[in-house]
Chains A and B, each alone.
Chain A
């Protein structure tokens, strides 16, 4: 009798695990959102590169170097405001008791990882820009230094996410670290106004939303912003899928469950 009950329980558990896996595979499979974001990213990227490299005019003073402007500000926007903004918001939503959910912790981590990639690209493209316009690869200018500090802060945040602990402890620790790192974002933003820096202030759009560059340049830069935003959206979707799959994989301890069933009479 006991043996029959045990077998039934084991079979129920197996069925539950199968259903869980089926659900997660369905949830992380192909979807219209991923297709739209993916195809949109590729199309806008191709269009930005084509317009940026071949169609838009050279600048009177900067020559071809101006073409870096279609890459550098868009990746900086995606890193500082989109990715790290999402990480900060998601961390706040985790810390706020009414909205607390592990979903926010995973969103914060996913967005920070993408933000680090974008910020590293911001520094690299900015450094190339500096070499051609200022004559140096790097200078200890306030904007540059604070951006480098920001990169280190978010790399530290990603490292802290790997530390051990209970799920709640880890999520609390992650959220507090993210908020600490986020303090540097507005400092980076206002650094060009607070200090006398080599880095220029916002110069393409005036505060009254008046375009100071030819329309083709403004449109190409706008397309660059759209492109980095779409890429961020697609990456977020796939990165979140990975988090979900990892949770299911570890939660049900598949290998152990399989071995146990194998050893059953």
Chain B
């Protein structure tokens, strides 16, 4: 093994893992945002029905 090979593998692994994490967190953030919005809409809908 030489330093060039180790560097090549490390760069590939870190880049792919980094981008994968980025995708996971972006999706998680959007899903959480929609989940919160859904709960809020459900609460509002319930309040409206109670008001009536």
Contact = CB atoms under 8 A, between A and B. Distances in A.
Given A49-B9, A68-B4, A117-B19, A258 B48 contact: no
B35 to A, nearest CB: 7
A45 B12 CA distance: 11
A258 B23 contact: no
B38 A65 contact: no
Interface residues on chain A, size class: 35 or more
Interface of A is mostly: helix
Q: How large is the interface on B (under 10, 10 to 19, 20 to 34, 35 or more residues)?
A: 20 to 34
Given A25-B38, A53-B1, A125-B8, A117 B15 contact: yes
A59 to B, nearest CB: 12
A15 B42 CA distance: 8
A197 interface: no
Nearest to A18: B41
A14 B11 contact: no
B17 to A, nearest CB: 9
A245 B8 contact: no
A247 to B, nearest CB: 10
Given A18-B41, A64-B1, A125 B34 contact: no
A129 B5 CA distance: 8
Interface string A62-96: 01110110011001000000000000000000000
Contacts of B42: 18
Most buried by A among B1, B5, B44: B5
Contact of A64 (B5, B12, B33): B5
A159 to B, nearest CB: 18
A264 B44 CA distance: 10
Contacts of A258: 37, 40-41, 44
Interface stretch (A172-180, A186-194, A209-217, A234-242): A234-242
B27 A241 contact: yes
Contacts of A68: 4-5, 8
A154 to B, nearest CB: 15
Given A11-B45, A121-B15, 16 more contacts: A18-B41, A18-B42, A21-B34, A53-B9, A64-B1, A64-B2, A67-B1, A71-B12, A235-B20, A238-B24, A238-B27, A242-B26, A245-B31, A248-B34, A254-B37, A257-B41
8 contacts: A28-B27, A52-B9, A65-B2, A117-B15, A128-B8, A238-B23, A242-B27, A242-B30
